[in-house]
Structure 1
Amino acid sequence: MDEDASIDDRTLRFAAGALADAGSAVAMTGAGVSTASGIPDFRGPDGVWARYDAEDFHISRFEADPAGFWADRLDLVDDLLGEGREPNAAHEALAALEREGVLEGVVTQNVDGLHQAAGSESVVELHGNGEHVVCVDCGARDALDAVRDGDLPPRCPACDGLYKPDVVLFGEQLPEYAWYRAHAMAQNAGAFLVAGSSLSVEPAASLPREAAARGTTLLLVNHERTALSGRAEYDFRADVTEALPALVDAVRDY
């Protein structure tokens, strides 16, 4: 669609039909879905990496200076996932599409857990979950709140191994199982809905690109043009909190 692409009723009805008739659809979300809940993005001019040094959150720093890493990490988490962050209308719309049997699930680049809080049951977290920690030795998981008030670096009560944030740090690969599951969902999808992502971050951006190459119907909802706007059948330049609920209503009326 062209540079002035936006949301209109006729195109919305066609997009809803494409989703409803896809047989199996998958959604992928980026930072634009979380920012509507007051969570800052990472790469924008006022984003997280404009206020923090990204190198402080590299896996090599965690390994060399876990106490210092954790002191900075807890500050970042308080900034990123502070109190009062709730699911917004976009999260709720995607959960509704799953309940309607339209979406197989959601693949997300976000680490805030808001899709689950909104009611989505099938969520693949490509970059992990910032509300949890994992032991690097035995693999035990715990809530982030469990490590806030103790000594740093936090250690696993079961084996005394170091706790690491259950997220993908710089220098780490995506979790193998999450990537495998996301890739399988994308391969089987008849429609691929991308919301709130510029599709500039790899390897996540390869999922809708490869789906489109196989002939999967591609639907985009983002304020700005994305790397795949020229290949999308439906390209809505719109607020995700407005476009996704409208899409749900159109699916129900289809």
Structure 2
Amino acid sequence: MLPVLLVSVDGTVLTFAVPSITRALVPTGTELLWAVDVYPLVLAGLLITAGTLGDRFGRRRMLLIGAAGFGIASVLAAYAPDVRWLIAARALQGLFGAALMPSTLSLLRNLFLDRQQRRLAIAVWAAGFSGGAALGPILGGWLLEHFWWGSVFLVNVPVLALLLVVGPVLLPESRDPSPAGSTRSASGCRCRRCCRWSTRSRPSPPAPRRWPGSPPGWSAWPAVSRSSGASSPAPTR
């Protein structure tokens, strides 16, 4: 739960740090926007890809890689000398955060085999992700009262260091037993479901109606097009 909480916190922790970052790094409006939004943009764009890689090469391995990379990126963001460095560090946070989130959710299926326990674990996981978004501004405001703006990133480092120490001991390794089809199952199945849903939910077009007194085989559409000055299509027989 803690890695997911940190990933969610970092999405909103800069809410109150923006004035301090503006005074320290003097960014333009566009650069400041990128510094805030590049993290969720990269994170959301790579979730499916990172989940597929975890199914293929090992979920615990992806979790530990994500934890190490997220910690390093947090340190780089905390000590950024300019705003471009901060933007790059935030993009790295999004990259390694995408490796953290799917791995934690996938490992729950191996850690909790009982259905009731698994439902409870997924509920706690979802509560941690939702609560982290609300906790971010509160934690960021408290840190800014006592430390400089880089402290909002350094808070991640102790938790991730603990995960790197105890993770290899406590977490079992798992991967997809049929990795050859993992790419298709991660992205293609979602696309197929969306396409099937849109096809089923799309209403059928209305059948063309005949004007009263029109010859058989002529629909209402040619009459409408003639009245609007457009060229008449061929009659439908």
Same fold (TM over 0.5): no
- Normalised to the residue count of structure 1, the TM-score between the two structures is 0.26
Larger radius of gyration: 2
Greater strand share, 1 or 2?
A: 1
- Give 1 or 2: higher helix fraction: 2
